[in-house]
Amino acid sequence: MKMADIRKKAKEMGLKPPRLTKVELIRSIQVAEGNFPCFATAMGYCDQFNCMWREDCLPRGRTRSAG
């Protein structure tokens, strides 16, 4: 997701964060949604298959599915 889209989502949620990196901004959104701020912390595996950030979070070709 492009940074402009992430900033737009943050604004729609009423967030007015200072200038943040992509990772920091997404984690702020996760917290505002009531979720754990886990963006970009997975070590090659993530069980949050419905997360809107999943594609940006895990490097392509390095994700493992459960089971």
What does the pLDDT look like over 8-66, one tens digit per residue? 999 999 998 778 999 999 999 999 998 999 999 988 788 888 889 988 888 754 444 44
Q: Which domain holds residue 39?
A: 3-57
Assess if residue 67 is contained within a domain: no
**Rounded CA separation 12/8 (Å):** 6
- pLDDT (0 to 100) of residue 58: 83
* Contact call for residues 33 and 10 (beta carbons, < 8 A): no
How many structural domains compose the chain?
1
Assess if residue 31 is contained within a domain: yes
* Contact call for residues 10 and 28 (beta carbons, < 8 A): yes
Assess if residue 26 is contained within a domain: yes
